[in-house]
Structure formats: C-alpha cells, structure tokens
Amino acid sequence: MLRKETSPITEDTEELQKLIAAMQKTMHHAEGIGLAANQVGRSLALTVIDISGTKDNGDVLPLVLINPVIIGTHGESVFEEGCLSLPEIREDVIRPESIGIKFLNEDFKEVEMEADKLLARVMQHEVDHLHGKYFIDYLSPLKLSFLKGKLNKLRKGEVETDYPLAPPTASAAATSSLVERGLHPLQETSAPAAARVSIRTAVSLVTCKQPAMR
C-alpha cells in the first residue's frame, strides 16, 4: 500500500476523527513523531505529527494534516532518517531546509504555514509516504547495494527489535481494523495500543529519543 498514491479526504466524518485519534495514540505509544494513514492500512491523504518531545521543540503543537500539499521549498539540509520497520537502516537524506505547506486540520479548516528544521523534515518525510515514497528512494544505487543484506534479513524476520515487527502478509483490512481499535498493525497482542510495523510497507515512525529520524 505504501507504494501507491493515497486518496484525498473529501469530508469530515466520525470515522475520520476516530482514525486520527487512533493514529495519534499509536504514534505516541511508539514514541514516534510522525505517522501517515497508509502506514496503518488506510489509503488516505492523512498524517499526524508531534515533535513537542524533541529538543528545542517543546512549544510546537501537535498537527493533523489532511490532504497536505507542499507549495514551496527553500535551502537544503542533510539529516539522518530511518524507519521503525527498517531497524538498523539509517542514512543521511538531503531535503529542503524549509517549506511552505497547506492542508486541512482536524477541524477541516484550511491552514497554510511555513516550517523549517525538524518540523519541515518530518512533514516532508510523511508527505512522501502519502505519495508512495520511502526515504531510501533518495539514496544512491551504491548505498542501496550496501543495504541489500540488511533488507534481506528484515524480509526474513532475522532482525531483533525492542518492538514487535508484524508479518508482511497481513491484509490491509486487518491492519485497518486493528488501528481503529487502538492496536497498531499487524497482529494481535495482549499489550494495549502496541506498535506493529510492517516490513513490506516500511512504516516510518520517527522516534524522539535521539535527533535522528527512525
């Protein structure tokens, strides 16, 4: 699903608000700072972001971005990014330093704003997911060739993590059902709101424990 373009959201509904709440719960449980709807089995142009737990960003309010569109960029910066579903894989990615972006917020009101530094980075990372793009798509063929062994280990389930990796065969319907119940994909667990990360779809939450994206 993460390689496909997501669908615009055309109306505010109770189901949408429940999905937003579930995604925020999932993101915080995993100590993440960004999560896109297609990462939890819903092909919708929706992402939630909260960088308030990171250094120097305590005053940045959590954001809900519906149908986000980047309308301008400026400058360039290099920052280490990664995905929870791709543990042990972290690479520097070049992106614009600051951006202009417009979106609908959780109240379905249009917002246009500028962002820079970490917030701009996370916004771009998550918006990429809504267009079917991974952070590793920015890497050179040479760098990707060096990662081949790690990627193969991930696909085979041979990498240990401190969070449960879900089997890549789970259906989108099953994933969607779980996230709406506060269980992040893709398999049941006795722990509430536990994070489940699909290797195949490369869920990209970003942790606030360190400055690098995860």
From start to end of 37-160, where are the E strands?
46-49, 63-74, 77-82, 90-95, 98-104, 110-116
Task: Retrieve residue 168's tokens.
Answer: 């890549």
Model pLDDT, residue 149: 87
Question: Does 204 reside within a domain?
Answer: no
A 10 A CB-CB count for 40 gives 29
How many domains does one find in the chain?
Answer: 1
Residues 111/102, Cβ–Cβ less than 8 Å: yes
Question: Does 168 reside within a domain?
Answer: yes
Q: CA 49 to CA 121: how far, in whole Å? A: 11
Catalytic residues: 126
Domain extent, residue 166, equals: 14-198
Predicted confidence (pLDDT) per residue in 5-45, tens digit:
999 999 999 999 999 999 999 888 878 888 889 888 899 99
Q: CA 130 to CA 10: how far, in whole Å? A: 16
Question: Does 213 reside within a domain?
Answer: no
Which residue, 109, 153, 22, 9, is CA-closest to 67?
9
pTM of the full structure: 0.75
Task: Retrieve residue 119's tokens.
Answer: 């917030």
Question: Does 166 reside within a domain?
Answer: yes
Using the predicted structure, report yes or no on whether residue 172 has a pLDDT greater than 60.
no
Model pLDDT, residue 31: 80
Question: Does 58 reside within a domain?
Answer: yes
Mean of the per-residue pLDDT values of the chain: 78
The DSSP output letter for 135 is: G
φ, ψ dihedrals at 64, nearest 5°: -115, 125
The pLDDT > 70 percentage for the chain reads 71
User: Is the model more confident about 210 or about 127?
Assistant: 127
Question: Does 42 reside within a domain?
Answer: yes
Predicted confidence (pLDDT) per residue in 176-203, tens digit:
444 444 444 422 333 333 334 444 433 3
Predicted confidence (pLDDT) per residue in 87-135, tens digit:
678 899 999 999 999 999 999 999 999 999 999 999 999 999 999 988 7
Question: Does 1 reside within a domain?
Answer: no
Using the predicted structure, report yes or no on whether residue 206 has a pLDDT greater than 70.
no
